[in-house]
Amino acid sequence: MALAKTEQFTKAIEDKKKILITFKKHFDGDAIGSALALKLFLEQLGKHVEIVCADFVLPSQFTFLKHSNKIKSSFDGLNNFIISIDIEKTGISELSYDTKDNNLRIFLTPKNGYINREDIQTSQSDFKYDLIITIDTPDLSSLGNIYTDHENFFYSKPIINIDHQANNEHYGQINIIDLPASTSAEIIFELLQKSQEELINRHIAQSLLTGIVAGTNSFKKNKVRPQTLQVASKLVDLGADRAFIIKNLYQTKSIATFKIWGSVLSHLKEDKANNFVWSTITRDDFVRSGAKKEDLNNIIDELITTSPSAQFVLLLHEDPDDGEKISGTLRILPQHHATEIMKKYSAEGDENESKFEISGKSLHEVEEEIVAHIKNEINK
């Protein structure tokens, strides 16, 4: 990463007081660890920092990270609508309000005379954040409804865009895209190291190493480079506890998780000719196991372990909360591109993994359609 990028980053945050960190709706552990590390670093510089991700639910295996419980699922008070009333001549004896037919009604009782329309002015405050930092997010639409419902905000504030994927659209005023990097956590470590390394404490190191371990599946992905291992070693020297991270991410499982894994393995199917395996999970499987959607976070890794020769791994599941929706995850080896393969289904993700949703069809119908689609893509 060129030094100029570090200088741009340092200059961009220098005079900013309130900073938003956000990442794609279909996030992974790399995004969580990276965002928390950056928050902890910026707070040491006296910045007010919030992390917001659309509809965010914290996976249980990341609760050990400092401030992980402070990641928000939506904006609260992004800006204020201001009503100004000139009461110099009238004064106010009483103020009240109610709601009727989804309308807010404000009642003002003047002490003297009456209030005219000309005495009332409205305005809007500036947005509460003065800088946006996106992490591991290929495009703004990947942020989900925090972007689609607040586009004016994202176009009115400067964006620092940090990512390691080739499909990033370079939408930021500053784009720190390091394609050889295995994870965004590595990029952030380099930024912080070149900026003010003395501020990297054990909590920041722990978050960054968690991002690297989660983003590389404990250094098992093909994109892991020697520099990744060097960064991990430096983070351990700075206080990160690799054994503790591994224990939390991969060795602490609930009974419900093991039960839902059993259901996945019992439904496992294989196409040996195409090195393709897939499985499905029904709502009944969720009910019987007592599992939640969050318990599926490491299922794909489990399928890869079960079928080491597989190059394409697909998991489809009925949404336990929405009977009309089927969710899917496709993980593939790097010689193909998971999101490109599934772009017909508006998939979000990167070259290794994509996520998609289909509504209005049964699980069996979706399985037949998606499996046929993937086989067709493989054989092109």
- How many angstroms separate the CA atoms of 313 and 311, rounded? 7
- What is the fold, at CATH topology level, of the domain defined by 255-378? Diaminopimelate Epimerase; Chain A, domain 1 (3.10.310)
Residue type, position 239, single letter: G
pLDDT of residue 46: 95
User: For residues 76, 78, 79 and 81, what is the CA-based torsion angle, rounded to 10 degrees?
Assistant: -50
Got the DSSP string for 132-163?
A: EEEES-SSGGGGTHHHHT-HHHHHHS-EEEEE
Would you kindly state where each structural domain of the chain is located, as residue ranges? Answer: 3-75+128-249, 81-124, 255-378
Vertex 14 angle, CA 12 and 20, to 5°: 65
Q: What DSSP state is assigned to residue 72?
A: B
User: How far apart, in Å, are the Cα atoms of 304 and each of 252, 268, 277, 380?
Assistant: 19, 12, 9, 24
């005023």: which residue's tokens?
173
- Per the confidence metrics, is the pTM higher than 0.85? no
pLDDT of residue 334: 60
- What is the fold, at CATH topology level, of the domain defined by 3-75+128-249? inorganic pyrophosphatase (n-terminal core) (3.90.1640)
Q: What DSSP state is assigned to residue 240?
A: -
pLDDT of residue 125: 63
CB 127 within 8 A of CB 104: no
pLDDT by position in tens, the chain (length 380): 555 888 999 999 999 999 999 999 888 899 999 999 999 999 999 999 999 999 999 988 899 999 999 999 999 888 777 788 888 888 999 999 999 888 888 888 889 888 888 888 876 667 899 999 999 999 999 899 999 999 999 999 999 999 998 889 999 999 999 988 999 999 999 999 999 999 999 999 999 999 999 988 888 776 788 899 999 999 999 999 999 999 998 877 778 888 988 999 899 999 999 999 999 999 999 999 988 887 776 777 777 767 777 889 999 999 887 767 999 988 887 667 888 899 999 887 777 788 899 999 999 999 999 999 999 998 87
**What would the two tokens of residue 169 be?**
């659209």
CB 75 within 8 A of CB 150: yes
CB 306 within 8 A of CB 267: no
- How many angstroms separate the CA atoms of 63 and 135, rounded? 20
